[in-house]
Amino acid sequence: MVFSHDLREFILRARVLKLYRQGLRTARKAPVDGRDELRHMMREEMEKNRKCNDRQKIRFLLSEGIERLKRLDEMLDMQGH
């Protein structure tokens, strides 16, 4: 079914964009002198995988990104940012 296939891609894309937005919000907690570099690294990661069409790889990258973002958020919270 074509509709189901398109819907899955739409949902997966929405999850990727949500992760990116969460990353940008988390970057606001970083010290001022490191925010731009952090945003730049996030953008590079997204651009590097932009052309990926393998759903399984995208899911893997999403789960890896979520874990990395959680660790970053915890680290920034421990530092008091």
pLDDT digits (tens, 9 = 90+) for 5-57: 789 999 999 999 999 999 999 999 999 999 999 999 999 999 999 999 999 99
Phi-psi sector, 52: left (phi>0), alpha (psi -120 to 50), beta: beta
Task: Pick the closest to residue 62 from 24, 32, 3, 20 (CA basis).
Answer: 20
Q: Residue 81 pLDDT > 70, yes or no?
A: no
**HSE (CB half, 13 Å, CA atoms) of 1?**
4
Confidence (pTM): 0.87
CA–CA dist 48, 34 (Å, integer) = 21
pLDDT recorded at residue 1: 47
